[in-house]
Amino acid sequence: MDRSRNWPHGLGNLVRRLKAVAIGFCVSLCAATMAHAGGGGALEAVLSATSVTSTSSGAAGVSGTLNAVLTATETRTYYQAPATVGWSTLGGAARAGLRGVQRFVPYVGLALTAAELAGWVYEDGWFNKNDGIEPEELTGGSYYCAAPPTWVLSGKYCTATPQAMQSFILGKQFKNGATNLTVTEAVIMDNGAYVRALSYNAAGTLVDAIAISRGSTLPEDYWTPGSRPATQVTEEELAKLIAQDPANHYTMLHDVNGKPHPFPEIVNALNSIADAITNATGASPSVDAEPVIPNETDPSDPAPPGDATGQELPAFCEWAKVVCDFIDWYKKEPKIPEDEEFPYEDISPEAMEDYDSGMSGGTCPAPEIIPVLDGEFELQWDGLCTFVEYLNPLLQGCAWIAAAFIVVNSHPRRF
């Protein structure tokens, strides 16, 4: 109830005006405070990524829901946005871990495990197929080589004989413009002058043919298909292999502190959340993340020692010291101990002259003195010894009879 209505007319109008001014001042003060905590207070409204959940792998990369928190002066508001980290980024992170970049060290174990499951082996900075066949050097005056871009291969393949090339290209693909054709037949032409690859369709019609001629110079970087059919594994191929196990997604997307890696895709998703907040409230929160591209050099990471191309594993032995110690121990030549002299006892016949088997009469033990109260009691063994002397012939007789039964029963019986 507004009691000012009962006051004199002039005084009531004054009171009502004062109330309006007070209410307007409060509204203005609240609005200014909210603006300071929002758009006008970038230092006090920070948007940070907390985790990536509900992940799955697809054609574009590993996708999930990015969870973020907006921290203002006295409030915390949570947001979500979809995010997809591409295979190129994840593959670069895997290669950076193998290169020794500290922030991506957890990728090393995932990469080595995935490579082992795929039948690859890590050697000389590359993943190669572990086929158990040692690479061989090609010697001679002429070679047959198949190499990209005509052939859909991951490297340059050369052989010394046309027969080896014929066997290798059968089933491989080569390009016919933008189309990849599969070799369905490979024949040796002109007495080994070159190998001709033929591609037939399902109707048996020849679609295309290509010839691999003989050359006299080997490429600097080549593989022999008979010794090592798989060469370099690409970063994206390695990342896709790691991501086949959904349990690896968390390690691929988060650092050792459980915070999402600031991959460019993650930072872009954070910026989209910040833009949505600005459009809805007028506030301008700052994004707490600087994008990191794994393929580029990060000044905060130490330079890997050794090979400048970054094809070493300097960080692996830091967190897998037990494994490295075992490998070093296994490589060492075993030390054969020198012959030691062991004590021995002379058991020659001369040394056995004084040996007593215990079959003699023996002697009775001396009396045992037992203290009793204030005196002593002497325990005599003479009676027991006399009894045993009478019992001795009986015991020996039983032993001889038992021995006789053993000897008789040990011979086979004939019926």
Q: Is 199 exposed, middle or buried (0-12, 13-18, 19+ CB in 10 A)?
A: buried
Question: Could you state, in order of their start, the residue ranges of all structural domains in the chain?
Answer: 3-36, 38-123+235-331, 132-229
CB 107 within 8 A of CB 94: yes
The pLDDT of residue 256: 87
CB atoms within 10 A of CB 107: 26
Strands (E), 224-379: 286-287, 368-372, 375-379
CB atoms within 10 A of CB 146: 23
* Tokens standing for residue 153: 């291969």
The pLDDT of residue 34: 40
pLDDT in tens, 189-231: 888 889 999 999 999 999 999 999 988 888 877 777 655 444 4
Residues 6 or more apart whose Cβ sits within 8 Å of residue 110: 94, 242, 248, 251, 252
The pLDDT of residue 178: 87
pLDDT at 3 over 60: no
* pLDDT band at 131; cut points 50, 70, 90: low
The pLDDT of residue 414: 44
* pLDDT band at 391; cut points 50, 70, 90: confident
| Percent residues over pLDDT 70 in the chain | 66
> Which DSSP symbol is given to 306?
S
CB 207 within 8 A of CB 66: no
* Tokens standing for residue 284: 């301008």
DSSP bridge partners of 167 = none
Residues 6 or more apart whose Cβ sits within 8 Å of residue 264: 89, 291, 292, 293
What's the whole-number mean pLDDT along residues 50-67?
94
pLDDT in tens, 251-278: 999 998 899 999 999 999 999 999 998 8
What strands lie across the sheet with 143-146, from one edge to the other?
A: 157-159, 143-146, 206-215, 194-200, 185-189
Look at the pTM and tell me if it is higher than 0.75.
Answer: no
The pLDDT of residue 251: 92
pLDDT in tens, 291-327: 888 876 555 554 444 333 333 444 455 545 555 665 5
* pLDDT band at 333; cut points 50, 70, 90: low
